Amino acid sequence: MTTRAGAHFPTRLALQGRRVLVCVGGGIAAYKALELVRELKRRGASVRVAMTPAAERFVAPLSFAALSGEPVARDLWSDAHRGEIHVELGAWAEAVVVAPATANLLVRAASGLCDDVVLATLACCRAPTLFAPAMHERMWRHAPVARAVRRLRDDGARLVGPVTGPLASGEVGEGRMSEPSEIADAVERILASTGADLEGVRVLVTSGPTLEDLDPVRFLGNRSTGRMGHALARRALARGAHVTLISGPVALEPPPGAEHVAVRSALQMHEAVLARADAQDAIVMAAAVADWRPAEPSTDKLKKPDGVTETTLRLVRNPDILAELGAWRAARGQRRPVLVGFAVETRDLEQAAREKLRVKRCDLVVANLAADGFGGDEDVALLVDEDGVASTGRIDKHALADLVLDRVRARLASG
Ligand SMILES: Cc1cc2nc3c(=O)[nH]c(=O)nc-3n(C[C@H](O)[C@H](O)[C@H](O)COP(=O)(O)O)c2cc1C
């Protein structure tokens, strides 16, 4: 991540003493997992390896054993483990990286299947998990695989790659596994933001759209899916925070452990946030709250009278929750709760974010272009605060959530 001034934010953190489990799937790219093990070791990690039966068809377990310096977990049923190897490995790992993550592994892991040592360990492990998919582009685009990826992400897993490039078939396409050094970078980022550094911190996160009813069957809404807000809630929980998630209607499950408040309209969200604001250390407003609502929602379904070809909808302004929070905090003369706003724009991103920071009197604005982030699993964001502007580059929403929470933590630490 770089700032405007060109300063460099440290992203390459040493892996000294960190425990990383590498799960190898049965794809051509399994040979690159050897290099990954070397790279992780080079950065100081203790590495253990688990292989699927298919992976052994591509690379000999002995190679992984030699590079990691540890016996390889190959067989759920082996009595050599003297117990449940998946339980032991799952408890040992601080981070898990699945490389290559085959189409088969992704779909089976998303379903929670546990019939080999890799899948059983994934099911048994609560450490952050990073999948590095590798497959032919048609497999990557196969609907069940795409569904599985989405499901894994929604359950909190991270992905690195795949990238576009030459595939094993000789064709060029999206499906090539990321390079081992890039995967190791991603492991570093994950481990840099684990640990309970938000222990005891109370964080309120808003997520999703609000829907403004026109009549009993129609509403005005927006395209927010809640992925960003839910990722924030999930990461804050993982870092030890007490999380209240106030969410508009979304298709996502609230993360276990969060206090979940379901709302529908901007007015409901306004009420739910203000009622809880005083108890928070930080409020992160990731929801896409409607600016306007129908002035007179109808209790009956609106009809279209014969011959009428035009109609006018009268709208009234919704309360501006973030601006109210900023004003309320300023009136109290306090720096808490830390306030974070999100801005989705279609142009003049930085200018709009700076303006929002000033007008809403918040501490940080996370700004993105609608085309970059709305609805997807990744984003390209600007982090704008009083110190300046930093661009994240294309980034997974969970990783972006960690960057935002890093800023929140720093703000809380500064008093
Ligand atoms: C030569 C060969 C190469 C393969 N390469 C891949 C691959 O790159 N990605 C993938 O998802 N599957 C690939 N497969 C298919 C998997 O090996 C197969 O789905 C296997 O069941 C995966 O098992 P696992 O997911 O338990 O490791 C390949 C199969 C063969 C025979």
Domains by residue range for the chain, with CATH = 12-192 (3.40.50.1950), 202-294+312-413 (3.40.50.10300)
Q: Does residue 214's CB lie within 6 angstroms of at least one atom of ligand 1?
A: no
pLDDT at 2: 44
Q: Does residue 315's CB lie within 6 angstroms of at least one atom of ligand 1?
A: no
pLDDT at 348: 87
> How many other CB atoms are there within 10 angstroms of residue 49's CB atom?
27
Helix (H) or strand (E) holding 405: helix 397-413
pLDDT at 154: 86
Q: Does residue 103's CB lie within 6 angstroms of at least one atom of ligand 1?
A: yes
Q: Does residue 105's CB lie within 6 angstroms of at least one atom of ligand 1?
A: yes
Exposure string over 211-243, b if 16+ CB within 10 A, otherwise e: bbbbeeeebbbbebbbbbbbbbbbbbbbbebbb
List per-residue pLDDT tens for the chain, 415 residues long.
444 443 334 444 468 888 999 999 999 999 999 999 999 999 989 999 999 999 999 999 999 999 999 999 998 888 776 678 899 999 999 999 999 999 999 999 999 999 999 999 999 998 999 999 999 999 999 999 999 999 999 888 999 999 998 888 888 889 999 999 999 988 988 887 666 789 889 999 999 999 999 999 999 999 999 999 999 998 898 888 999 999 999 999 898 789 999 999 999 999 999 999 999 999 999 999 999 999 999 999 999 889 999 999 999 999 999 999 999 999 999 889 999 999 988 888 889 999 999 999 999 999 988 876 566 777 788 999 999 999 888 888 888 998 999 999 999 988 7
Amino acid at 366: V
The helix/strand/coil state of 339 is strand
Which residue's alpha carbon is at the smallest distance from atom 29 of ligand 1?
27
pLDDT at 95: 94
Which residue's alpha carbon is at the smallest distance from atom 28 of ligand 1?
27
Does 104 qualify as catalytic in the annotation?
Answer: no
pLDDT at 372: 67
pLDDT at 6: 38
